[in-house]
């Protein structure tokens, strides 16, 4: 049986929180639902499961790459063009440190940003269900999984005061980039 997804759109945050609470009470785990919001909430506000990530690895890799590049550029340049200037040795460590440092930090920053995008799973064509009202302050609760569970969740959300409950169309995702009036 194919997975289904449903989104419940709540105007009131408390309604959304009570919906997720009753979902948890009814055996739908924090892994099965996701919250869409227009700004971050303290973790666990909706009883959602912790999302694990490996972001911290990225800056380390980036820093290593940047550092190595810095070493290669500075050492390589001085060796390739061994001209003594200002009485300093050909491989002058202090000046090299400056460029190695900038390289390290540049690598770390670039990789961090890439890591943020990768770990956020963007760019993406959008989730299977979405509602533009989310960015206007509504709370979206997405449940995806087995059809039976999704239907049960939809019922809970309707009962908890969801303003709108929308299912994904089978085999088709709702395209974010379409104009809202077309949807």
Partner 1 sequence: MQERVIMSDQEINNELLRSVFEHPLRFWVGAGVLGIFAAMWLISLSWLIYWGVGVTGLNRPVYWGFLITNFVFWVGISHAGTMISSILRLTQAEWRRPVVRAAEVMTVFSLGTAALFPLIHTGRPWRAVYWVFPYDFMRDVFPNVRSPLIWDPSAIFTYLTGSALFVYTALIPDLAVIRDRSTGLRRTIYGALALGWTGNTRQWKLQGIAGVLISALILPVFVSVHSIVSWDFAVSIVPIWHATVFAPYFVVGAVHSGVSAVLTLMAGMRWFFKWEKFIRPEHFDAVGRLLIVIATVWLYFFFLDFVFAIAAEETRELAVMERRVFEWPYWFLLVEIIILGYLIPVGMWLKRSVRRNIKLMFWSSLLVNVAMWSERYWLIVPGIERKYELKFSWSFYNPQLVELGLVVGSFGIVVFLLLMFSKLFPPIVLWEEKEGQRFAANVKIGQAVVPAIVKEE
Partner 2 sequence: MAEHAHAGHVAPEITARQTIEDATRRVVSTGAKFATLDIALGVLGAIGLIALVLNLIIEGTGNREAWGYTAIVAGYLMSSVLSAPILAVLLRLTRSDWRRPLSRIAEIQAAAGIVVYILYLPLFFAIPEAEGRFTVWVEWPWGAPGFFSAVVLGLLVFGGYALLYISAIPDFAIVRDRSHDNLPRFERYSRLARGWYGNLRQWSVHRAGLGVLGGAYLILYIWTVSLFFWDFGLSLVPSWRSSVFPGFAAMSSLQTGLALIIVTMYALQRWGGLQDYLTWDYFWSISKLLLTTSLLWFYLWFSEFMIYWYGRKPDEINVLELVMFDVYGLPMLLTFLLNFALPLFILMWNRVRKTIGGPTLVACLVLVGTFIDRLRIFGAAWGVENPFAHEMEADNIPDFLVPSVLDILIVIGSLAAAAFCVRMALRIVPLPSIWEVSGGIGLRVRRQYLNHPVTVIAKPE
Contact positions vs partner 2 (CB under 8 A) = 13-14, 17, 20-21, 41-47, 86-88, 94-95
Count of beta carbons in the 10 Å neighbourhood of residue 144:
19
Start-to-end Cα distance in the chain: 26
* Choice between 108 and 128, CB closer to partner 2: 108
User: What DSSP designation does 128 have?
Assistant: S
Pick from 5, 59, 143, 165 the residue near partner 1 by CB under 8 A: 59
| 18 makes contact with partner 1 (CB under 8 A) | no
Question: Rule CB under 8 A: which of 115-134 touch partner 1?
Answer: 116-117, 119-127, 130, 132, 134
Between 26 and 77, name the residue whose CB sits nearer to partner 1.
Answer: 77
Which residue, 80 or 171, is less far from partner 1 as judged by CB?
Answer: 80
Q: Which of 70, 76, 69 is nearest to 91 (CA)?
A: 76
Residue 115: other Cβ atoms inside 10 A: 20
Encoded one letter per residue, x for contact with partner 1 by CB under 8 A and - for no contact, window 30-49 reads: ----xxxxxxxxxx----x-
Q: How many residues bind partner 1 (CB under 8 A)?
A: 65
* Pairwise CA distance, residues 74 & 91, whole Å: 8
Per the CB < 8 A criterion, the answer to whether 90 and 79 are in contact is yes
């Amino acid at each position: 049986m194919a997975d289904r997804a449903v989104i419940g759109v709540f105007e009131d945050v408390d309604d959304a929180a009570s919906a997720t609470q009753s979902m948890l009470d009814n055996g739908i785990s924090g892994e099965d639902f996701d919250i869409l919001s227009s700004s971050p909430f303290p973790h666990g506000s909706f009883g959602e499961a912790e999302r694990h990530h490996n972001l911290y690895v990225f800056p380390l890799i980036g820093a290593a790459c940047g550092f190595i590049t810095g070493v290669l550029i500075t050492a390589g340049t001085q060796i390739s063009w061994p001209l003594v200037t200002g009485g300093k040795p050909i491989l002058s460590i202090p000046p090299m440190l400056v460029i190695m440092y900038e390289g390290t930090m540049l690598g770390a920053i670039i990789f961090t940003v890439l890591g943020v995008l990768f770990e956020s799973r963007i760019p993406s064509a959008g989730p299977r269900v979405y509602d533009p009202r989310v960015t206007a302050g509504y709370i979206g609760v997405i449940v995806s999984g087995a059809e039976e569970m999704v239907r049960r969740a939809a019922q809970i959300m309707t009962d908890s005061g969801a303003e709108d409950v929308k299912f994904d169309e089978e085999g088709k995702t709702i395209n974010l980039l379409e104009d809202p009036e077309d949807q």
